[in-house]
Amino acid sequence: MWLKPEEVLLKNALKLWVTEKSNEYFVLQRRRGYGEDSGGLTGLLVGTLDTVLDSTAKVAPFRILHQTPDSQVYWSIACGASLEEISQHWDWLQQNIIRTLSVFDSGEDITSFVQGKIRGLIAEEGTSAADEEDPERFREAVLRFERLFGLPQREKLVTYFSCSYWKGRVPNQGWIYLSTNFLCFYSYMLGNEVKLVYPWDEVSRLERTSSVLLAESIRVCVRGEDHFFSMLLRLQQTYLIMQQLADYAIVRFFDKETFNAEHPLANPLHITQRALEIHARNQSFRAFFRLPQEENLCEVHESFLWVPFSHVNTLGKICLSENCLCFASQDGSQCHLIIPLWEVFSVELPDHGSRALTVCLRGKRALRFSEVRDFERLAATIRRKCGTAGSPQHYISNPDEEGVMVGQSQAVSTEALMNVFHPHDAENLDPKMLKERMKEQSWQIHFAEYGRGTGMFCTKKTRDLIVRGVPETLRGELWMLFSGAVHDMTSHPGYYGRLLEECMGSSSLACDEIERDLHRSLPEHPAFQSDTGISALRRVLTAYAHRNPKIGYCQAMNILTSVLLLYAKEEEAFWLLVAVCERMLPDYFNRRIIGALVDQAVFEELIREHLTQLTEHMTDLSFFSSVSLSWFLTLFISVLPIESAVNVVDCFFYDGIKAILQLGLAVLDYNMDNLLCCHDDAEAVTVLNRFFDSVTNKDSPLPATVQQASATANDKSIQKVDISDLIKEAYEKYGDIRTEEVENMRKRNKLYVIQTLEDTTKQNVLRVVAQDVKFSAAQLDELYMLFKKQHFVSCYWSVCSPALQNHDPSLPYLDQYQLDQSQFSSLFNLLQPWTTHTHVRSLARSAFRLLDENGDGLVNFKEFMCSLDILYNRSFTEKLKFLFKLHLQPGTQEYSVEDGVIRKCPERGRAKVDLQEYLKQWQEDLQRREENIKDLPRINQVQFIGLTKTLYGVFHGNEEEESLYRAVARVTSLLLRMEEVGRKLQESSPQKMPQSTPTSTAQPETSPTLPTSPETETLAEGEGDQPESPANQQETAPSHSDITPTSTSRPSTPTSSPTGTSSPVFDTPADTPSSPSAVRDGDWSFSFEQILASLLNEPSVVRFFERAIDTDSLIAHARKNQLKDAH
């Protein structure tokens, strides 16, 4: 065990210890009296001393000391009761510590590092099940996590580990904290503090690596920067948890099409280490046995299974779920089988001595398990589950029935199309048919020996038969079995028929796309030249689109489904499509085909590993990604003749994506010489196309009318390649690729693929926005990440955050990320360049309404950046105009009519923008001329008061605050006097225009009695505590007597003023437009030109707004406080 480092002054004190191993930094010692010399006098003496002098604390016979070459002091760091135990500690030090110590310059640094690492290991040994076995320790870790990183209390810590973080060539010993949304690390050594906080949604690479310096470490890439964590006591466990958390964040935030709201980890507040482990175990269990999503692993028992065909007991594991009893041999390849519990009718305990149980199945079959540790409990569990797992009453077709079942609202074909259009001819003695019958006989023998249906033993012999090719008559049955679709269909009787009834006559975008592609699906085949095949294809695709609207319909689904319908009944074809889209090829059939891109990245990795010659010739392997996309999407159906492609589909349903990857490698390997001679991509495409044209299936029994003869079929000069030989070669050369390895590569590359798509979105957005703003490229990049992160911050701790619905990858790049009002306000307040005074902070709400021109309640990045660009980089006039327009807006209302257009309020939700409408708006933006200040409406008394208060709030806390207050007071006084002069002139005018607008004689002192709008009330929030400088008190607006018009006005049509008094009618300026902020009865008003001209005469105000803004500091401040603001 590891020991808390304690100083040992004399290495060989009293000659009680013997050195067994040593190096420059560590010494492994054995205590005399143990081992080889235990029989000597010294050994007896030491044993006596240990027993007599300290019988309550017997000294461990082995220990490890730490030393440095320039020190005489030793530190005990580990002890052990046996040589085997202490050797494990010694080996760990050799592998993880020795090479690292060479980077330190002094012995003190080495000792400090070793002590810190050992203390971390000791602490970690007690945290393996901290949240379950030692809740107190875990609570302490949670408090430490909250104190160190300042994250909101809603952020849930999942687990933590001791490790070293490499900063350059120097390791920093500390603790890594893994929470629901963040990866955190903290270290403090010799006054050097290291603190990292990275959200999982920014991780683009996560993998285990090793190097000369680092024995084994975890590499985490965040925004293009690599971080390495090593010296983990449980590195694999740590890596798996990190991988799960990163994958969870990626799927939840970026890949919503595949994220299920009923996901077991859907609630981020309920994620624990145990929940992650259970979820991972269930996923692996379902993937290995191809079981439905509803199945979860309940129990695992190690046992022997009597295998009748080889007459041996095979060691393996019994895996029990809700509805299935599964067994897999120890290596997983020798045999595995699946028994639905409704097939079990009894469980017997024949031999208690061998701890055996016999599971009896329908059809006079039995399975004998032995050496089961808890066999009685297992037998009781199976009996109980057999009682609850009733046999599904699924409709099984009769060979003598008609080919169409009409018991539903829509006719459903109950015959495979191949049987309808090309029935099996038993009298045909053609050589190909004879070979086909031999294949059938081989499978019948296999069924007799290994079983048939769901209880069949799957062994190496089964794979060999698959590689040779499946008989036409058995293809549908075996596809259903190996894909696991048979379990879905039997557990959901009548589901397909109900789906058809629900979607019958419905109209949707998916239905339109399906209709468009129906006649493009295997158009050469007679089955799809008739209404029978086309109708069946339509029903299957429409039913699936109705079942899974997140996917709906995608191109390539029609090609795959048409092949499924050739060999399977209609309902079976539907469930096969479900198995392919939702289990075997996840994320393939969606808008961004993420799954196909991930598998292409896996394919590139395998090319680098297995085809090094090709890699050296073509440094950029992206060509193979583009050319192989159709291989993965259609399982080679689109590039191979149908009679050859079905053999590939056979292998796919048995081995999954591994079979497609193997075949892809075999195709490139077969054409290696020709590809090495190519000078460009076009030549390589030609080489591969010619190869696929040369692939044939010499054993295919299909008639010539069905086979897809290529253009080179009759060209004798081209060498033919038989598909069976190609598949056999693929299994021989690349069959050692393990399914588990492929799945790990998929998980590793999924992060990279999705982050690459996100980077593409970012680059396109920045390219558009950069043309309209004056920020640098680096600043734009940082601001985009802040904008994007603001979207996610509101999603981190909510199960059904409405913000998640605002992210839609199908929208144009600019609209993929948008902020609602609360999100916008938080980010705007973090980045606005002025004081954080309460009144100024409330401007965010006005800014949001000003920017939300289409009234959908959302603001995109371009709109946000245009407002920020005005505040940061534009002239005094532009900034003042922005503030002026903020105070012109009317109050929030359900619907506002502007320019004759009714716009919805944000609460009404959001509909997708039509593409044509989006292009039209874009064109209008391009053609929009520069806004003239003369076009701005006049500002009324309430709005002007709000603008004045905003200016006071903006200046609050500035070093020139007093002079700025005086300047605003002078401008206010001047404007009010100008208005008074104008009124007097109008009152003394002998003539009045018939269309006149009344104005009142209001003063700032009487502002509480002035009419107010909701907007002004919003802007005036917090003004009660607005501080006033002495200058503001002295040079405030003129007194009531100074600005009140004389009472001697000539008679005029009186109108009621807001204060209840009569006010005269006078002319409205001709350039005042009609708008919601137009002058109302009894209001005085100012134009923007008047305000601008007055403020331009105040140098302190102009200086304040023209001063340079430290953009980088504000961005850094926002980045630091963005999460704190979410508390």
Q: Mapping DSSP to helix (H, G, I), strand (E, B) and coil, where does residue 1030 land?
A: helix
Structure confidence at residue 391 as a pLDDT band (50, 70, 90): low
pLDDT tier, 525 (very low <50, low <70, confident <90, very high otherwise): confident
Rounded to a whole number of angstroms, the distance between the first and last alpha carbons of the chain is: 42
Q: How far is CA 1001 from CA 977, 990, 1042, 1083, in A?
A: 11, 20, 12, 8
Strands 695-696 and 721-722: parallel
What pLDDT is recorded for position 122?
77
* pLDDT score for 990: 54
pLDDT for 579: 94
- For tokens 């505590």, the residue is 1025
Q: How confident is the model at residue 644 (pLDDT cuts 50, 70, 90)?
A: very high
pLDDT of residue 204: 92
Point out the least confidently predicted range of 13-17, 62-66, 509-513, 1076-1080: 1076-1080
Transcribe 398-458 into DSSP letters: -TTS-SEE-SSSS-EE-S-HHHHHS---TT---HHHHHHHHHHHHHHHHHHHH-SGGGPPE
What is the per-residue pLDDT for 640?
92
Per-residue pLDDT reduced to its tens digit, 717-744: 578 899 999 999 999 999 899 888 999 9
pLDDT in tens, 1091-1118: 888 899 899 999 999 988 999 999 999 9
Phi, psi of 535 (to 5 degrees): -65, -40
3-class DSSP string for 12-81:
CHHHCEEEEEECCCEEEEEECCCCCCCCCHHHHHHHHHHHHCCCCCCCCCEEEEECCCCCCCEEEEEEEC
The model's confidence at residue 332, banded by pLDDT at 50, 70 and 90, is low
Report which of residues 386 and 989 the model is more confident about.
386
Strands 1055-1056 and 818-819, by their bridges, are: unpaired
* Residue 401 pLDDT: 39
Q: Identify the CA nearest to 695 among candidates 724, 674, 673.
A: 724
pLDDT, tens only, 598-612: 999 999 999 999 998
Question: pLDDT at position 898, please?
Answer: 36
Mean pLDDT of 744-751: 91
Mean pLDDT, residues 970-982 taken together: 84
Judged on CB neighbours under 10 Å (0-12, 13-18, 19+), 1126 is middle
The pLDDT tens digits for 356-366 are 899 998 877 88
Residue 932's pLDDT is 67
Residue 838 confidence (pLDDT): 62
Query: 1023: Cβ–Cβ under 8 A, 6 or more apart, which residues?
Result: 839, 949, 953
User: How far is Cα 622 from Cα 665, in angstroms, rounded to an integer?
Assistant: 15
Tell me 1031's DSSP state: H
Is the pLDDT assigned to residue 424 strictly greater than 70?
Answer: no
Average pLDDT of the segment spanning 669-693: 90
Query: Worst-scoring range by mean pLDDT, 261-265, 274-278, 542-546?
Result: 261-265
Most confident of 186-195, 686-695, 887-896: 686-695
Total residue length of the chain: 1127
More reliable by pLDDT, 403 or 67: 67
What pLDDT shows up at residue 979?
A: 78
Q: Tell me which amino acid residue 897 is.
A: V
CA distances from residue 1006 to 192, 941, 1043 in whole angstroms, order as listed: 61, 11, 12
**pLDDT band at residue 715 under the 50/70/90 scheme:** low
Tokens of 216: 């084994």
Q: What's the burial of 1090, exposed, middle or buried (CB within 10 Å: 0-12/13-18/19+)? A: middle
At 42, list the tokens: 């010294």
> Based on the number of CB atoms within 10 Å of its own CB, is 892 exposed (0-12), middle (13-18) or buried (19 or more)?
middle
Strand partners, 174: 163
CA 1108 – CA 426 distance, rounded (Å): 90
Read off the pLDDT band of 919 (50, 70, 90). Answer: low
How confident is the model over 102-152, as pLDDT tens digits? 777 788 878 888 888 887 777 766 554 444 446 778 888 888 898 899 888
Residue 493's SS3 state is coil
Residues 6+ apart with CB under 8 A from 142: 157
Which pLDDT band, with edges at 50, 70 and 90, does 11 fall under?
Answer: very low
Confidence of residue 4 (pLDDT cuts 50, 70, 90): confident
| Residue 173 pLDDT | 87
Q: Which residue has the tokens 């405030």?
A: 1036
Angle between helices 876-886 and 1088-1096 (to 10 degrees): 140
Return the half-sphere exposure (C-beta side, CA atoms, 13 A cut-off) of residue 881: 16
In angstroms, the CA 577 to CA 391 distance is: 24
Which position has the higher pLDDT, 38 or 229? Answer: 229
Cα–Cα distance between 981 and 1001 in angstroms, integer?
12
772-780 contacts, C-beta under 8 A, 24 or more apart: 772/862, 772/865, 772/866, 772/869, 773/865, 773/866, 773/868, 773/869, 773/873, 774/869, 774/872, 774/873, 774/874, 775/865, 775/869, 775/872, 775/873, 775/1111, 779/1111, 779/1112, 779/1115, 780/865
- Reply yes or no on whether the pLDDT at 196 is more than 90: yes
- CA dist 339 and 680 (Å) reads 53
* pLDDT above 60 (res 1022): no
Which of 494, 459, 489, 495 minimizes the C-alpha distance to 476?
489
pLDDT band with cut points at 50, 70 and 90 for residue 650: very high
Q: Identify the burial level of 55 via C-beta atoms within 10 angstroms of its C-beta, where 0-12 means exposed, 13-18 middle and 19 or more buried.
A: exposed
CB atoms within 10 A of CB 126: 11
Lowest-confidence region among 296-310, 491-505, 699-713: 699-713
Which residues, in sequence order, are CB contacts of 645 under 8 Å at separation 6+?
563, 635, 636, 637
What is the rounded average pLDDT for all residues in the chain?
78
| Residue 563 pLDDT grade (very low, low, confident, very high; cuts 50, 70, 90) | very high
Of 358-372, 766-780, 823-837, 1036-1050, least confident by mean pLDDT is: 1036-1050
The rounded percent of the chain whose pLDDT value lies above 90 is 29
Which residues lie below 8 Å from residue 633, measured CB to CB, with a gap of 6+?
556, 588, 593, 596
CB of 999 closer than 8 Å to CB of 1063: yes
For residue 529, what pLDDT is reported?
Answer: 86
Q: Please tell me the chain's helix, strand, coil percentages from 3-state DSSP, rounded to the nearest 5.
A: 50, 15, 35
Range with the poorest average pLDDT among 25-34, 616-625, 668-677: 616-625
Q: Are strands 217-222 and 17-22 parallel, antiparallel or unpaired?
A: unpaired
pLDDT tier at 541, thresholds 50, 70, 90: very high
pLDDT of residue 913: 43
855 — pLDDT class (breaks 50, 70, 90): confident
Is the pLDDT score of 1013 beyond 70?
A: no
Find how far residue 726's CA is from the centre of its chain: 37
Look at residue 393 and tell me whether its pLDDT is greater than 60: no
Check residues 602 and 351 and name the one with the higher pLDDT: 602
395 residue type, one letter: Y
The three-class DSSP label of residue 303 is strand
DSSP 592: T
Residue 298 banded pLDDT, cuts 50, 70, 90: very high
Q: Which residue has the higher pLDDT, 414 or 453?
A: 453
Closest CA to 481 of 417, 575, 418: 575
Type of residue at 705: T
Confidence band for 904, pLDDT divided at 50, 70 and 90:
very low
CA distance 969 to 1094: 11
pLDDT of 1000 higher than 60: no
Mean pLDDT, residues 440-444? 93
pLDDT given at position 1112? 93
Of the listed ranges 240-249, 760-769, 946-955, the one predicted with least confidence: 946-955
Residue 626 has what pLDDT?
82
